[in-house]
Chains A and B, each alone.
Chain A
Amino acid sequence: MLLRLAWRNIWRNKRRTLITLGMIQFAVVLATLMATIRDGIMNIQVENVVGGYQGYAAINDTGYVEEPSIDYTVPYNDSVQSFLKSKNLIKSYSPRIIGGGIITIGEKFKIGRVVGVNPELEDSLTHFSKSLVKGRVLHSSGEVVLGLGLAERLKADIDSVVFITGMGYQGNTANLMLKVVGIMKLSNIQENKRLAFVTLEEAREGFALYDGVNQIVLGLRDNTKAKQSVKELKKQFTDPVQIYSWNELNVPLYMLVEVNDALNIIVSAMLYFIISFGLFGTILMMLAERKREFGMLIAIGMKKSKLSYITYLENTFMAVFGTALGFVIAIPVVYYLNQNPITLTGRNAEDIAKFGFEPLVKTSMNFNIFMWQAISVLGISLFFSLYPILKIRSMNENKAMKG
């Protein structure tokens, strides 16, 4: 009966209830959409930057983090390799020698980055063969695969001859002459414009780095738990300070993610602030309208705790119902935008690309976002439900019945 009473009470003023539900629903839709879009966009950027080339974790010298110079190396011997192969947390890995230089084709040149990789290991990590837009992957020394942006800048094509001049290990001069065998489109726009891949042996010879590598990029079983995985790996590795998670290697991006998360909280908080006012207004009106009735109910023997429970139920019903309606609209929209991301064009797209980001609007289907929206609305409703409870506790039934 109490449940029935609470439910019917909600509908005694249909228009007000519908307005309140509409407001909760609108805020839930807006907050969910904004949060999932922000999260989705950020995921794309992290995936492009981190998943596409940088990796979610890496082993490199501590000095390399501050100054990514070819002179900072880490061992890549049997012991390291057996460690990498034995750890279940590590799904794949790729050793890299990374040098800088002027990359030239004919009269065209660009300062770029030459990355020496083991093609098979690199492919198992970044699936870079799938990014090929022309040609093939590396098979042997003397070959180079260029980023599409770099290739366009240099007007390179398959079989073009590339000259690379740069600084090798410990002051050696690096001079490489290579034939373009492939052109790949890297998801990270900045890297796409400057990376040239060669075999690890080619890089070792060319940059005179005969021992060790600059970086061993790690692919983790669960990239979403990169921090925890790295923490665990640090405990087991001989030189724990040399294992880094992506957020330590790419502090600006990590900061951006953190700022984005904070912005999500602020925007959601603002929206929920609006809901709070709406809910509180409804509660105040309900209290004023039903003061006499509350007095009568207490007079005929209804315990204040039971009456409080009914008002609590009413507010909770309203919050749950409003949130559920919000999700009924939000989830299909979020799902649609997740499956059919919007590609920005024009000036906006160019501006976004300048920051190295892909101009895509894609939502994230992160369950946590939906869960937090629900928890927030319920939390707010729970908080404001305390007000009628306090009012009822201090209510004098005799005075209340007089209105």
Chain B
Amino acid sequence: MNVVETQNLEKLFIDAGTKVRAVDGVSINVEEGEFTAIVGPSGSGKTTLLNMIGGLDNPTKGKVQVDSVELTELSKNELIDFRLKNIGFVFQSYNLIPVLTAYENVEFVMLLQGRDSKERKARVNELLVAVGIADKAKNRPSKLSGGQQQRVAVARALAPKPKFIIADEPTANLDSKSASTLLDIMQQLNEKERITFLFSTHDQRVIDRARRVVTLTDGKITEDKKVDA
């Protein structure tokens, strides 16, 4: 079953009076349980493509369907609500809420969803254990290392039980040990719980672990390779 389907997706930017086609006719399907890396050099359109798939950016042309819902037909408010229920985000620079503890950061999205406190508590504790950060639950982001912060970000992305997770360069700011730990966690979650991950990266460590590698060059898919386990 396809979690994500795009058809002839296009994104046009005007940069200093010149039209730039950041994403140029991309059609891609992502199935449930995939561990997919979108790779390519800087400026190849990876982040723009993920932003459109995540409903953070509107395509100039084409269609994006997530779990059979056409994102281009949703209003801004409907998109926010859709993201809250269906898409988890892991950002390059962690983007945790600095004034909340690790526990509260993970809990926050569930709170926005209106989940009751019992459910929240159980889920947050479960996720903090899963990402190996339970002992740091009461720490604020400033008291956590980069790797620990990114693990909290993964737990936060997973908290609302989304259809899939978009991770934009998740290991870019991490040392190799932290990156390896993070990737182990994400891989385990993918294998055990069939959580769909969609990365943008040019980190070889991520590419090596991906089951599918989609290469973008100048906004076009130039290679789409499935890797056997």
Question: Could you list which residues of chain A lie within 8 angstroms of chain B, going by C-beta atoms?
Answer: 1, 4-5, 8-9, 11-12, 292-293, 296-304, 306, 397-398, 401
Contacts and interface: CB of A to CB of B under 8 A. Distances in A.
Contacts, number: 59
Given A299-B54, A300-B112, A301-B84, 9 more contacts: A1-B107, A293-B95, A293-B98, A296-B91, A300-B157, A301-B80, A301-B83, A304-B80, A398-B51
B99 interface: yes
Interface residues of B, number: 27
B121 interface: no
A8 B99 CA distance: 6
Interface in B86-129: 89, 91, 95, 97-100, 104, 107-109, 111-113
Given A8-B99, A12-B99, A302 B91 contact: no
Contact of B99 (A9, A300, A301): A9
Contact of A397 (B56, B100, B111, B157): B56
Nearest to A11: B99
A390 B71 CA distance: 25
B88 to A, nearest CB: 8
A229 to B, nearest CB: 56
B111 A1 contact: yes
Contacts of B161: none
Most buried by A among B81, B95, B109: B95
A13 to B, nearest CB: 11
9 contacts: A1-B104, A5-B100, A293-B97, A300-B112, A301-B112, A301-B160, A303-B77, A303-B81, A401-B56
A303 B97 contact: no
B166 to A, nearest CB: 10
A303 B51 CA distance: 18
A301 B81 contact: yes
Would you call the interface of chain B mostly helix, strand, loop, or mixed? Answer: helix
Contacts of B95: 292-293, 296, 401
Nearest to A296: B95
A301 B114 CA distance: 12
B136 interface: no
Interface in B42-82: 51, 54, 56-57, 77, 80-81
Contacts of B212: none
Contacts of A5: 97, 99-100
Interface string B152-172: 000011001000000000000
B59 to A, nearest CB: 12
A301 B107 contact: no
B74 to A, nearest CB: 13
A126 B157 CA distance: 79
B21 interface: no
